[in-house]
Amino acid sequence: MKENRWFHDHVTPDMVQSHRIREVVYSGRTQFQSIEIIDSGGFGQCLVLDGKIQSSEADEFIYHEALVRPAMIAHPHPERVFVAGGGEGATLREVLGNSSVQRVVMVDIDEEVIDICRRFLPSFHQGSFEDRRLELHYVDAKQYLEKRDDKDEKFDVIILDLPEPIEERPACLLHTREFYQLVREKLAPDGILSLQAGASSWGNHQIFTAIINTLKAVFSLVFPYEAHIPSYGGMWGFALASQKLRLLSPTEVERRISSRMKRDLRFYDGLTHQGMFLLSKNLRQAIVEEKRVITEHEPLFIYQP
């Protein structure tokens, strides 16, 4: 990213979202990826990895509450949580906000990203990295789960806050059937997987539908949903997956939020929960018609300029 007045985020090969730069707070490269923290005119401070915005100060609460809250609320009593990715610490912040959580295992391959975010983005993590319930590992998520041979270690909720699949980048093989099968093995019988599943805006939804179809090849129950993330340029897809899961009514969601949460939420509530799962007819049809299953031998990559 050049230090000029504008940062250009390539949403698709044919669409660019431009952000006026007030200040480049940090710019560098880790062992695995480029990292910038920019202060933008429209969205405040933004974390940028490999040229794509991951989080913005103005709307990160929408993304992170959408990613974390539905799974944490749907589970009857989440105590053990596994988080992959989420280096800025905001996903961890949302997990730790649930009063029932006793242990969180977080893995991220890039220690430098976490160190930089801890230093420059305190409003995102809000001290979550110092929480005594956290067990932090700097390792590839797939390698970590493969090496854990303790059959008694099962997680109530697993959250995958991974970057989009860019070729030859750390997360490129963590959006596959094989990885989802490994995740399923590490879930408790009533465990729930939650993940970000790429853009769901119409015309830019191909990765979203492929991820949903891949999840369906592994899990009995898959519930796709979406939320509008302005800094991402449109609608963004998520999914819950489980062998045993039921969606809750708005009233039950509100009751559980009231009894479990340590602080107020800004985005997620009962009506928002209901609305996120009401996909449009054309997007539902695209999911039904999707045939691709993403595998390690046939991975799927996003456009990268």
Is residue 173 included in any domain, yes or no?
Answer: yes
Question: pLDDT of 70-109, one tens digit each?
Answer: 999 999 999 999 999 999 999 999 999 999 999 999 999 9
Q: Are 66 and 47 found together in one domain? A: no
Identify whether residues 135 and 202 lie together within a single domain. yes
Same domain, 42 and 106: no
Task: Tell me the average pLDDT across 214-229.
Answer: 98
Paired sense of beta strands 103-107 and 80-85, if any: parallel
Can you give the pLDDT at residue 166?
64
pTM, two decimal places: 0.94
Active site residues: 161
Answer whether residue 275 is part of any domain: yes
C-beta separation of 140 from 170 below 8 A = yes
149: domain range? Answer: 60-289
Q: What is the pLDDT of residue 1?
A: 47
Strand 187-199 with 155-161, pairing: parallel
In a domain, 302, yes or no: no
SS3 at position 34: strand
Q: What is the CATH number of the domain that holds 33?
A: 2.30.140.10
Those residues whose C-beta lies under 8 Å from the C-beta of residue 274, and which sit 6 or more positions away, are 249, 250, 253
Do 10 and 83 lie in a common domain?
no
